[in-house]
Amino acid sequence: MKKGMKLNLHYQKLTQDQEEELNSVTTSRNWGSHVPSSLVHSTYKKAFNIEVDIDKPIFITEFKNYQGIWLTSLYEESFKNLQGYKGLFELVKKDYEKLTGNPCIIKCNEYPVRDISDLKIPKISYAIQKKEIKNIEDIKDLYKT
């Protein structure tokens, strides 16, 4: 937000409900199928500071089958997350329109097969997040190789 003010950019004002929805979307997980590192920290042994015997194997949970209600729950949670993403998407489009003064028009390009060369994009994105790519010239160099 501070950088936006320096550049004299004005963002959409969010209502309390929108703020809460944004927070919900950015922290959402499909907890029924998610295995976070916090799983270790939420175990009984960790909670009660019981020492873990490093000479014993580490056991993980693997289910061969799931009850139908479990799968229904995963679907409902995923559907709820999707609704949140759609709402956030609409807010982002409004922000774009306010910032550029132009309507946000998005069209979908469909391809029959995702080609292996397309892996370059997520690799670049990951490198940007890790601060290995610092500018547009670094990205251009990657496309030249």
Domain extents for the chain?
A: 2-107, 114-145
The pLDDT assigned to 25 comes to 74
Tell me how far apart the alpha carbons of residues 119 and 26 are, in angstroms, rounded to a whole number. 24
The pLDDT assigned to 104 comes to 93
Residues near 87 by beta carbon (within 8 Å), at least 6 away in sequence: 18, 21, 25
**32 touches 77 (CB < 8 A):** yes
With cut-offs at 50, 70 and 90, classify the pLDDT of residue 78.
confident
With cut-offs at 50, 70 and 90, classify the pLDDT of residue 55.
confident
What's the whole-number mean pLDDT along residues 25-47?
62
The pLDDT assigned to 35 comes to 56
Considering Cα of 55, then 57, then 60, then 63, what sign does the dihedral take? negative
What's the whole-number mean pLDDT along residues 6-27?
76
